[in-house]
Amino acid sequence: MIKTNSVAFYTLGCKLNFSETSTIARDFTSEGFERVDFSKPAQIYVINTCSVTDNADKRFKTIVKQALKINPEAFIIAIGCYAQLKPEELADVNGVDLVLGATEKFKITHYINELTKKERAEVHSCEIEEADFYVGSYSIGDRTRAFLKVQDGCDYKCTFCTIPLARGLSRSAPLKQVLEDAHSIASQGIQEIVLTGVNIGDYGKGEFGNKRHENTFLELVQALDKVDGINRLRISSIEPNLLKNETIQFVASSRTFVPHFHVPLQSGSNDLLKVMKRRYNRELYEDRVHEIKRLMPDACIGVDVIVGFPGETDEMFLETYEFLNELDISYLHVFTYSERANTPAAGMPDSVPHAVRAKRSKLLRGLSVKKRRFFYERQIGTIRTVLFEGENKSGYIHGFTENYVKVKAPWNPGLINTLQRVKLTSIDADGLVRFKAMAQVENLELQNK
């Protein structure tokens, strides 16, 4: 049976999207709607879209079909980056009733006065220049950790990226608002907060095109470190040129920030970085990695890298591979380049054949497996704190240490959303780490005395 005023959500893409979905869901709840799981019958299905890769675009149609299979009369709403970039394309998808752009999504309940199915979707999408004000967001209840949005939009002009077209200029939450949101999250018993945004290192720029930084990213992390009730703070992806040594040094001695960084590289070739219009070179990137490891030898460092960018020769790819192979990093997120409309890269010469892109992607994914394994092996025998998640996966519960080592244990609901001191003991066939609780370790030590 389908409940009246029931709504379900599906989020594609990044942590920022998850934080905004959660905030939009709370808006529905305050209007009297009941939130249900996306796999259940609902009157309304809201799909928060992504357009970073071609695959995210394609998945949208599949998700719409899933919703209509559950309830053929469901009212389908598309929001997010893809909805801003290609609203008419989404409107043409069979079953979609409403498409909302970058600013309209935060007023979603204003657009649903009547929920009858339409022949073609209604579109409300602003010119991206109008997306110049800031709407704060954070996620609660969806996961063990909370995603706290601190920044939106981007002023960078990377030649492969559509995000500035989808989200507008760089702008930030006032520091007072971020701290209020952090206090709200802490009051809910959430153990960990992940800072998120499009370009969080650019934190501090005001609304309406104001380029002056009210506060710096360093001032943001220093203020958050003083908030009571937060056990862990984690920085999500941050540009290497904006990850200053002062920030690294503060994290190394902070009360709550954990030793885990995700720093996009995209290419180990300086020539290709210039064509991508990235704002750093490989030498600066290497310096940042060395500074992290100098102060936090057990820190986890994740890397974004793109393969198959136009003009990437075999020599350039090998330069990237060898650079990453020698660098003391922990894992890779590998993106196979896909042409995105209205980006400079889409019209560049020397397109890399898709088969070559796939081969290079496979090689780097293999390197990532080796890097993660080596990083995990170095953690065996160390004592860490694990935050356990809430999902039963084939009879096991999983969690992450402060430095992002993924561990597993037999399912125990009593561990959900708890922090446990453990000693990492071994790596299993799945590449996950097993452990002993510190109470067990201490008992064994007493027995052996």
Beta strands (DSSP E) in 223-370 are 232-235, 260-262, 300-307, 331-336
Which pLDDT belongs to residue 54?
A: 67
Q: Which fold has domain 6-126?
A: Rossmann fold (3.40.50)
Domain limits, CATH 3.30.750.210, in the chain: 128-258
Which pLDDT belongs to residue 56?
A: 65
pLDDT tens digit string along 367-420? 999 999 999 999 999 999 999 998 898 899 999 999 999 999 999 999 999 999
- Ranges of residues in the chain with a pLDDT under 50 are 441-449
Which pLDDT belongs to residue 119?
A: 78
Domain limits, CATH 3.40.50.12160, in the chain: 6-126
Which pLDDT belongs to residue 441?
A: 46
Query: Which of 344, 435, 8, 414 lies closest to 162 in space, CA to CA?
Result: 344
Domain limits, CATH 3.30.750.200, in the chain: 262-379
Q: Which fold has domain 383-448?
A: OB fold (Dihydrolipoamide Acetyltransferase, E2P) (2.40.50)
* CATH no. of 262-379: 3.30.750.200
Query: Model's pTM, two decimal places?
Result: 0.90
Q: Which fold has domain 128-258?
A: Transcription Regulator spoIIAA (3.30.750)
- 358-365's contacts with Cβ under 8 Å and 24+ in sequence apart are 360/307, 360/308, 360/312, 360/317, 360/336, 361/307, 361/308, 361/334, 361/336, 363/321, 364/305, 364/307, 364/320, 364/321, 364/324, 364/332, 364/334, 365/332, 365/334
